[in-house]
């Protein structure tokens, strides 16, 4: 999922702790890319400016965050976070941002892969599959029926989407890639 506080709250209110919320890693990286220019700056006259340019500091920060993100061991991820904090100690605005939004224990569980080893999430680290399914639902299944009567919409969803999602979930569970258009047509005709 994206990092939407409203969406997370709705899921928590509906399902409680019976579901584990994890963030789409692509969206996390995208947020870092957008935020980095406003919070990482190197003064070229400073001691640090003799070693790093602002662009270089941003690249090093991004590389470090990605390394933490894709670490498979929790203890190693914690050590990497500590080393990251030390490396960027001269960037207090940046450190406040990552400490507040990403390095708290409850936040690390949302985006660091090491915290995902205990759950069965079929190796899906992005929500691209969900977004693709949503597009297929709107443009493929519903087509011109998006504004149809309620009973017709329920029929379409239960008839087509039920079969499609069951197959998709089964394929995700056994880690088989997405259905190709030809395979999907064969499935619909069966």
Same domain, yes or no: 48 and 104:
yes
Same domain, yes or no: 174 and 142:
yes
In a 13 Å sphere around the CA of 9, the CA atoms on its Cβ side amount to 3
* Angle value at C-alpha 60, between 29 and 85, nearest 5 degrees: 90
From residue 65, give the alpha-carbon distance in Å to each of 73, 95, 113: 15, 12, 12
Same domain, yes or no: 32 and 106:
yes
Joined together, the tokens standing for residue 100 give: 């507040």
Q: In the chain, helix, strand, coil percent, each to 5?
A: 70, 0, 30
Same domain, yes or no: 47 and 89:
yes
Rg (CA), the chain: 22
Of 53, 88, 116, the one marking the end of a domain is: 116
pLDDT digits (tens, 9 = 90+) for 162-178: 777 777 777 766 666 65
Same domain, yes or no: 68 and 38:
yes
Q: Which residue did the predictor score with more confidence, 43 or 188?
A: 43
The answer to whether residue 81 sits within a structural domain is yes
Of 116, 148, 165, the one marking the end of a domain is: 116
Instruction: Give the range of the structural domain holding residue 103, as residue numbers without chain letter.
Output: 5-116
pLDDT digits (tens, 9 = 90+) for 82-134: 999 999 998 999 999 999 999 999 899 889 999 887 766 656 666 777 777 77
């Amino acid at each position: 999922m994206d990092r939407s506080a409203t969406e997370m709250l709705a899921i928590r209110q509906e399902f409680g702790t019976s579901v584990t919320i994890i963030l789409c890693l692509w969206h996390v990286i995208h947020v870092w890319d957008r935020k980095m220019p406003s919070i990482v700056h190197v003064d070229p006259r400073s001691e640090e400016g003799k070693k790093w340019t602002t662009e270089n500091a941003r690249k090093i920060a991004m590389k470090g965050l990605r390394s933490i993100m894709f670490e498979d061991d929790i203890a190693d991820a914690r050590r990497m976070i500590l080393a990251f904090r030390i490396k960027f100690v001269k960037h207090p605005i940046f450190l406040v941002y990552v400490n507040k939004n990403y390095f708290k224990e409850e936040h690390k569980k949302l985006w660091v892969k090491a915290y995902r080893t205990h759950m069965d999430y079929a190796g899906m680290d992005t929500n691209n599959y969900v977004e693709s399914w949503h597009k297929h639902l709107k443009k493929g299944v519903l087509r011109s029926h998006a504004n149809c009567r309620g009973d017709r919409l329920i029929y379409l969803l239960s008839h087509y989407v039920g079969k499609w999602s069951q197959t998709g979930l089964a394929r995700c569970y056994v880690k088989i890639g997405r259905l190709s258009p030809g395979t999907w047509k064969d499935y619909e005709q069966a």
